[in-house]
Amino acid sequence: MSKALYLGELLLYWCPSCNVPVLGKECSCGTSTKQVTVTPPGDIRPAFPYDIDLVNKLSIEQFNAPLITDERVVVMNKSPYDDRMDEVIVDGEVIGTIRFELEHLKWVLLLRLNGARRIFDNADHKTLKSWVSVDEGAEKFILGGASLLAPGVKDADPSIEEMNEVVVLTHDGKVLGTGRSRMSGEQMLERGKGVAVKVRSKEEPAELSIPCGGQTWDDVVKANEVYMNDFVDRSRKFIENVASSVNRPATVSYSGGKDSLAVLHLVSECLDDYTLLFADTGIEFPETVQNVHDVAQRYGKPLNMISSGDAFWDSVDSFGPPSVEVRWCCKVCKLGPITQIINDNYEGGCLTFIGQRKYESSTRAKSERVWKNPWVGNQVAAAPIQSWTAMHVWLYIFKNDLLFNPMYENGFDRIGCWLCPSCSLADLVRLKETHPEMEKKLNDYLLPYAQRMGLSEEWVKHGFWRWKDLPPQLKEIAKKKGICFIPTGSNENNLNFAITSGYRPCKQGGISAEGGFDGPVDLERLEHTGMLEAVGKASYMEGVAMVSHGEDRAQVFASGSVTARSDSDRDARRLMKKVELSVRRALLCSGCGVCVGKCSHRAIKMKKGLAIINEGCIHCGNCIDVCPVVKFNS
């Protein structure tokens, strides 16, 4: 599981009188609030009806009863995890967590103790599911931190399967703990040997007091009036100060997302003269494109828009599927078109207000509030809501009745390109339900691609295509399920190469070049020949080769994708070219020996018909230029 990430102050409190969330220590009613302990970064947001229905659906499937039984305000907190995970907050406490488990490709509800009490207290547990009651003598051991052993089981739901979420009850039916089963219910009832339940949380049974429900989000808006007025006033002053100090036409980058919508409305309250910018990547949700047009019409401002059309699908065969490491699609479908919009409409450049927030990522938390875009020429960018949480944004939207994208109500917590590799697999699974034709189009590309690479349908199904180098947790899942994640196809005679470069929009600093061969690269041969040493100091890990030259870095992935990082576009492309040629030399070496004679440091030797670069290499690269493979096969 990912570590907690602190990006700003944790701002979720709860008013005991109004029974609503508050973004500070005192409610507008005058009552002191209590802080709610949530997992950082604490980018809290409202739960929409879809979210509540999902929680209750999981609760019924797992325990045969809903968790949230009446009308009340529910808050979600997105937590760090391998995929998507949200804490469920009701009545001022976290009562459970829902997470999408990649190993099983499904959502699971993990109850907290008070969540379990809401279901099991005052109910006949025999009518419920996934419960285990323990002998009285075993209770103290569980409270002391021990797992529940099979001999300590008094009774159990026989339908429990191994690795189910379960509720542990005392001998008289009170909630004692929650955890995950390590054997089936039938095995537990045999009272043999082994761990029956790995207990995650435990506590002495306690009486549960549930406040009255019936609150609405209008009540939440009212309770947060003082805090929201303060945040809004500071953002308005920021907009006015920046607009007066930057002598360029004002624009708002409207993406169809909630954050840029809040910024647009703030700008509309401060400035009379501004225009909207929108770059349609060609892989936007149709609802997003419609929302952009509807919002522009509502505000009555010019919309400068450009569409990338089929640029993504025209380029994907050259670069392969985009990944977290290789985001070539941002340059092809987004940065280039944005630059064109500005060049076509703003002769002297423009000032653009954007919906960037620090709670979204560590990169954005470190970003300045005003900066000059290093790749999109003549654009000064400014972030008025940098310190807002998602809850601030939604309360501002609710208060002003803004026209937000309906995809938020359909289970998506972020709105962007629908196949973005940075989105969760949960969102891609949800895509099959909301837009089956789009999910099919993606799979119609991914499945043949996987076959060419020597990878399985399971590699696609589990979303492993979104990384060139799987994170450790996902590697464990792949190995456990026997899913090959390193391409094994052959590409020795098929080395077409494509490249794009530019500023990294999703990671701060530097210029990146991204490219790829149209098939996998044999990294074992690349390492054996040592050809990357001609470029810089090389190292190898599972599925990836890395090379560094001074401050510049490049990576070659087994899939054939290549990335290069430098301080300038020219240097990034130059490094990329050297890496490309070195890969060609390794895979197509004819053993002619020309490079051996060229190396004045005697760092190249012939071995079994191949040129091998050894440790004496000083990375000058002179041998690259004389190689016949480079001259006649690139």
Q: Which pLDDT does position 420 carry in this prediction?
A: 94
Backbone angles phi and psi of 612, in degrees to 5: -125, 125
| Integer Cα distance of 263 and 434 in angstroms | 28
What are the angstrom distances between the C-alpha of 155 and each of 51, 59, 574? Answer: 33, 21, 69
Sign of the CA dihedral running 256, 260, 262, 268: negative
Q: Which pLDDT does position 589 carry in this prediction?
A: 86
| Integer Cα distance of 16 and 313 in angstroms | 53
Alpha-helix residue ranges (DSSP H) falling in 12-104:
49-63
In the 8-state DSSP scheme, what is residue 612? E
pTM: 0.87
| Burial state string for 411-438 with b = 16 or more CB within 10 A and e = fewer than 16 | bbbbbbbbbbbebbbbbbbbbeebbeeb
May I ask the CATH architecture of the domain 497-632? 2-Layer Sandwich (3.30)
Q: Which pLDDT does position 631 carry in this prediction?
A: 64
CB 380 within 8 A of CB 343: no
Question: Cis omega (within 30 of 0) on the bond before 66?
Answer: no
| Integer Cα distance of 134 and 156 in angstroms | 9
Angle, nearest 10°, between helix axes 258-270 and 225-245? Answer: 70
Q: Which pLDDT does position 507 carry in this prediction?
A: 47
| Integer Cα distance of 148 and 214 in angstroms | 39
CATH topology match: 224-392+412-434 vs 497-632? no
Q: Which pLDDT does position 591 carry in this prediction?
A: 85
**CA contacts within 13 A on the Cβ side of 423:** 18
What 9-13 contacts at long range (C-beta under 8 Å, 24+ apart), as own/partner pairs, is: 10/35, 10/38, 10/40, 10/42, 11/42, 11/44, 11/389, 11/391, 12/36, 12/38, 12/42, 12/44, 12/75, 12/77, 12/89, 12/391
Q: Domain 224-392+412-434, what fold?
A: Rossmann fold (3.40.50)
| Integer Cα distance of 67 and 282 in angstroms | 40
CA-based nearest residue to 404, from 218, 263, 239, 301: 263
In the 8-state DSSP scheme, what is residue 26? B
Place of tokens 């940065």: 335
Q: Which pLDDT does position 615 carry in this prediction?
A: 83
Q: Which pLDDT does position 1 carry in this prediction?
A: 45
| Integer Cα distance of 28 and 15 in angstroms | 9
| 10-residue averages of pLDDT along the chain (634 residues) | 61 95 96 95 93 98 96 95 95 97 96 97 92 96 96 97 97 96 97 95 93 95 97 98 96 96 98 96 97 98 94 88 88 84 90 89 68 78 94 97 97 92 94 97 96 94 94 94 87 71 53 86 93 94 93 92 89 91 89 85 90 91 85 57
CB 462 within 8 A of CB 484: no
Return the beta strands (E) in 83-194 as ranges.
85-90, 93-101, 106-111, 131-134, 148-149, 153-156, 165-169, 175-181
> Domain limits of the chain?
1-46+72-121, 224-392+412-434, 497-632
| Integer Cα distance of 390 and 537 in angstroms | 44
SS3 494: coil
* 604-607 and 561-566 beta bridge pairing: unpaired
Sign of the CA dihedral running 184, 190, 194, 199: positive
CB 72 within 8 A of CB 90: yes
CB 118 within 8 A of CB 210: yes
